[in-house]
Structures are given as C-alpha cells and as structure tokens.
Structure 1
C-alpha cells in the first residue's frame, strides 16, 4: 500500500474532504435543526457523520484497493429541512434514522429489496428530490431580500467564482459568509467565548423514539432519497471510471455505519456521488490502481474535521439563519437542476413527475406525514393510471 501512495493522491484527498465538508455541512446542520435538534445535538450529529464516513471510507478503500468514496446524505439533509418537526421531536427523528439505516442494510443483504428500490421509476425519484430541494434553493434570494448587504456578497461570490471554477463556487460562498459574519453581523458579547468552548468535541446521545409518523415522514423518504440520489449514482460513478464493484456489500456497509452514527444525531452515511468523481478520476492519479489513496486521505481529513463540528456549529449560529440557509441553497442548485432535468426529460412520464414534484414542493403534510411521501405516491398512481389506459 505504501508504494501506491502519491503526492497527487494526497492533494486530491485533502481537496475532496474540504469541498465535501464545506459545500454541504450547512445543509446537514439546517436539516437536523429543522427536525428538532438543539445546537449541541446538531453538532454531535455532524461530528458522528464525519467520523463514521471517514472510518467507512478508510476501511472499504484500504481492504478493496478501490476508491470507494463516502459522504453524508446531502439530499437527505434537504429532505429533513422540508419535513420539519414530527410527533416525538428529535428523538423520533433519530428513531427514523435508525430505521432508515436498517432498511439500507437490508437492501444490501436482501437482493429483492435492493431491486425494488432500483425499480422505483427514476423520473419520480428525481421529481421528489427536486421538490425537496427547491424550497432550500429559494434561500439565496430570500437572503438578499432579508438584507442585501449581507446576502448579496454570498450570492455574488458563488456566481463570480463559479464562472471560472465551478468546483470552488460553494467554498467561495462559504468564505463570503464568514466575511459577512465577521464584518457585517453584530456578534453578541460572550459569543466568541462560546465558540472557543465548542472546540471541545460534544457527543450527545439521543434516546430514539419509534412511531409511525416519523417512519413514514422521515425513514421511508430518507431511505429512498439516499439510495436513489447517493448510493446508486455512487456505483454508477465508479463504473464510469472503470471500477466494477458488488453494490450489495457496499450498501450494507453504509447502512451499518449509518446505524452507528444515528444515536448521536447522524441521519445517513452513503456512497459519494459528486466527490466520488474527484477521487476515482485521473486527477487523483494517472494509474487507476493507485487512486484509492485519495479516498483514504479524504477519510483521515474527515476524522480531523469531525471533532471541530461543535465550533463550526457555534460559529454558524452567530449569523441570521437565512444566511447559512443561503449557502446551503447555493450548494444544492446543481443537484436541483440535475434532478429536475432528469425528472422531466421523458415525455411519457412528464405528467406523473410533475405531480410528484408539485405535491412534494408544496410542503403540505397529511395525517402528520410529509409531502415527500405523498408526492411519490401521487406520481406513482398517476403513472400506473396512464399505463393502464394506454394498455387498454
């Protein structure tokens, strides 16, 4: 293994960890707090996810000698943000995280369930994801409306830097957010002391509560979104770069590490999709057999970043919530545009996808169950009806 190590893989691993953490931690924090997590619980969840995915990436890549990149479920964080607090509060949400992790393990070990998830029509899965993401993608515009002097620099940084280097657009927006907080926000007295105290890692165990509303509103949609938007695309990215893997064991592994992080507030660990392309591509190393070191380095970086989650959360709390939501929204613009295009591309399923998108994006819940589930159900019924009529 040491002979396979390279400076190029080292650089790409560090870059991947920075981009992955900086571009989406805001989505995770906002999602966890939206379902009832306190600041300490959200920081604990972010730390648990960082440590779990770091260990998972190191173990899988070192044993297989393949660049198997891990990430937390960014679409899942956006789903939590659109769901809101369910009956039972954050304890019920943690119970749903555990159920979701078990479903992922079963999907990896039990092939029929894995095939059933893969059989969910891609237009409907993408339409549900687009409906989940669109609310948060409005946040940058709302931030400008809230205070142009605070919101506009964040958006302009994302636009200008993204025009030259798309990869650095979100980190640039995050840097602008930091500058806005430092120079444009009145920091309460003693707040900086709180940030310093938060440098000590905080681990918050949350006793899970299991109930039907949380299962239907969080566990099932989170499972579908994580599998359809992260795990399955993650396998596809590896195949594109010439790596053949068995999906089942990888899915089961991500579910196992999700199960370990859930009691501490982590919602889901999964295969990386976007950042996976960085470590699996030629930029990590010209020799495909030596690229796995980039993932190992990335995993080590996440283990270092994890204990700093409390300080990151406390620093973010100094600013108006709409500003960090704006950063999260900018981080999800690419995911939204990709899912929306995939949802409405096929003419035959366009109406069913539109129904799924509209019901999900409405944010309306029925019987304590969020719109993401009802959107998928409504779109599925519409698609089934259209196929029945066409067969007649």
Structure 2
C-alpha cells in the first residue's frame, strides 16, 4: 500500500513542479491578472485531482489527469489577446470540442487522422521559442539563469526523472533570493476561485481555441491512451473525453484552460514500479488525484513567486522542462522522409509567431502545412494486374 501511495504522490508532485510556472506564465500571457492566474491553477489542480479519484475508483484502472502542458506553451507563445475574457471563451470552446470528440466518434477520427508530421511540426513550432529562452536568459540574467541550467544538466545526467522538478526548485530559490521577502505579502497568496465571464471573439477562437484543442488531443490525450495501452489497460474513451471536456468547460469560468489524460506521469502510476499487481495500481492514480487537490492550495503562493520573477527566467525554466517534448516533436515531424518539407514549413510558420488578420501562427502553420500536404501528395500507383494467360 505504501508503494502505491508513494507512486501517486511522486507523480503528482513531479507533474506539478515540472510545469506550474509555465501554466501561470501562459495564463498571464493571455491577459490573466495574478489573482485570475492563481484561480486558474487552483481550478486545474482540483478538477484533474477529482477526475482521477472518481474515474479511477469507477473503472479500477490507473486513470490520471493533468493540465495540457503543450496547451500552456501555446498560451505563452500565442500572445493572442490581452483580454482574458476572450481567452476564457476560447478555453470554453476547446472544452466543448473535447466533449464532442467523446460523443461523436467521427470527430475523434478526424483529429487522430491529422498526419503525425503536421501535428508534431505544429507542436515543435509552439515549443521552439520557449526552448530558446534558456539561452536568452543566460545573457540577460546570467546570475539567476546559469545556476538553474547547471542544476538541470547535472540532474539530467545523474537522475533524469528529477531534472525538471530540480530545475524548478532551483528557479524558486533563485527568485526568492533575488526578490527578498516582499512577494510573501502579496494578497494573492490565499487562492480563491475567481469567475471570469467568457467573451467569444472569432479571431481568438480560431487562433487560440482551435489550436488549443488540437495540441491537447494530439499532444496529451492520444499519448495518454497509448501509455495506458502499453501497460495493458483499456481506457474507456467516451467517459475520459467527456469527463475531461466537461471539467475543462466548467473550469474555464475560473480561468482554467484544459484538463486531459496524463502521459509522462501516468507511466509512474500505471507501470510496474507503482505495484507488481496491475489490478491495484488504480490506487496510485487515486492517491495522485488527492495529492493534486492538496497542491492546489499552494496555487496562490506559486503564482506570487512567478510574479516576483523576471519573465525571461520563468520562460527559461519552462524551456528546460519542455526540451524533451521538443526533441520528441521534431523527431516525429521529420520521421517520414516524404513529408519533411511539409513538416519543416509548418514548423517555420508556427515558430515565426507571425500574426495575419489577427490570427496567430499556430493556425496558419496548420493551413500552410495542409496546403503543402495536398500539393505534394503523390498519386497512388495503379495496382498490378494479373498477366493474361
């Protein structure tokens, strides 16, 4: 039993520590105030924790949930709106689309049918500017950034699982040391759910809501199902997708963006390291869910800490956390030699952060990639016919 509890706690703490700063910075980038960002982080923690407990208990399999890390990266990179109400509208629409995916199998097939090079190149383009931030931070604030990078490199060499949480801890220490104690008096320290009414701006829905849905499905939910399958579990798609979509839609009013299946941390709870008996591993994800609810109580403290930091340092820490995801996305995008031009074109458009007609580069990258995919598609060769006798 202790082994199961430990696996759940470690997975939740690792998931939280690895990317909470990215979540707070991403919400801030689309117009959230520190109070609204703390509310969003709290809502995400509670919703994904409750989902994990309820669905793991219901189906007796290790179903674990997380916020969309690629989605948070999209928020940080998009700069789509300074009006948080419009961003909330995009969050709500994204959640509704996830619900529809669970209820309407054809939509799910359409999303999973997006060619892997195209989806991976879009994700790589979103992550690239963030992953460059450690280099920029090393020049702008070397006394803060270089120790964080050193911690990440050393842990990545000797204890890879703890590299990202260790870098985030080093970042927190660096911020606390440089900012003094003034941030501890920030009124946001006590997190409360702050409701924000949604506004439905067509431009923001196209440039933020739709890409958020796509990167969450392609970058989180699909890999999440794959992880569970790898360990011998058959996760029920409809309850998972409808549950995460409803949670995302409800949470959007409190500033939360997207809840989805966990992928990387799911392996900690669904794998044999959590318990030799696969039938008992659901207790690890149940424990992980409870841990997330408790971690949500620290949302205000974490938000105040991020607000006290130079923005480039937070982006740099996020970039270190996302390096692995960037490598995976690039390798996947360029794996098929026949579609490398399509993939690299999609990547370049998305990474350029260009905006046209007020719509962000993630959408235009998909458009350019889709057009090139159709242009370069080779016609099928005719089937050989049997020789006449």
Pair in the same fold by TM > 0.5:
yes
Residue 85 of structure 1: how far off its partner (Å):
3.7
Equivalent in the alignment of 2:242: 252
Does 2:68 correspond to 1:78? no
Residues 1:168 and 1:384: Cα distance change in structure 2 (over 3 Å): same
Residue 307 of structure 1: how far off its partner (Å):
2.1
Q: 1:371 aligns with which of 356, 361, 371?
A: 361
Residue 388 of structure 1: how far off its partner (Å):
5.2
Equivalent in the alignment of 1:281: 271
SS of structure 1 residue aligned to 2:253: helix
Equivalent in the alignment of 2:86: 92
Does 2:58 correspond to 1:63? yes
Equivalent in the alignment of 1:174: 168
Equivalent in the alignment of 2:151: 157
SS of structure 1 residue aligned to 2:297: helix
Residue 198 of structure 1: how far off its partner (Å):
3.5
Equivalent in the alignment of 2:197: 207
Does 2:102 correspond to 1:108? yes
Alpha-carbon distance in 2 for matches of 1:284, 1:186: 39
> In the alignment, is the contact (CA less than 8 A) between 1:36 and 1:85 conserved in 2?
no
TM-score normalised to structure 2 length: 0.96
Residue 98 of structure 1: how far off its partner (Å):
0.3
Q: Deviations for 1:53-110, whole angstroms, at most 9, x for unmatched residues?
A: 0001111101000001100000000011111142x71100000000000000000110
Equivalent in the alignment of 1:16: 11
Q: Deviations for 1:247-297, whole angstroms, at most 9, x for unmatched residues?
A: 232111110111111001001000011111111000110000000111011
Alpha-carbon distance in 2 for matches of 1:331, 1:295: 22
Equivalent in the alignment of 2:292: 302
Equivalent in the alignment of 2:35: 40
Q: Deviations for 1:274-331, whole angstroms, at most 9, x for unmatched residues?
A: 1111110001100000001110111001101112101111122222111111111111
Aligned length: 382
Residue 165 of structure 1: how far off its partner (Å):
1.1
Equivalent in the alignment of 1:3: none
Equivalent in the alignment of 2:333: 343
Residue 174 of structure 1: how far off its partner (Å):
1.4
Q: Deviations for 1:126-173, whole angstroms, at most 9, x for unmatched residues?
A: 000000000110111111111211110000000001101111001111
> In the alignment, is the contact (CA less than 8 A) between 2:80 and 2:204 conserved in 1?
no
Residue 24 of structure 1: how far off its partner (Å):
0.8
Does 2:286 correspond to 1:291? no
Unaligned runs of 5+ in 2: 383-389
Q: Deviations for 1:325-382, whole angstroms, at most 9, x for unmatched residues?
A: 1111111000000011000011011110111100000000110111001101111110
Does 2:258 correspond to 1:268? yes
Residue 391 of structure 1: how far off its partner (Å):
6.8
> In the alignment, is the contact (CA less than 8 A) between 1:109 and 1:249 conserved in 2?
no
Does 2:128 correspond to 1:138? no
Residue 244 of structure 1: how far off its partner (Å):
1.2
Does 2:350 correspond to 1:356? no
Residues 1:387 and 1:99: Cα distance change in structure 2 (over 3 Å): same
> In the alignment, is the contact (CA less than 8 A) between 2:189 and 2:304 conserved in 1?
no
> In the alignment, is the contact (CA less than 8 A) between 1:96 and 1:214 conserved in 2?
yes
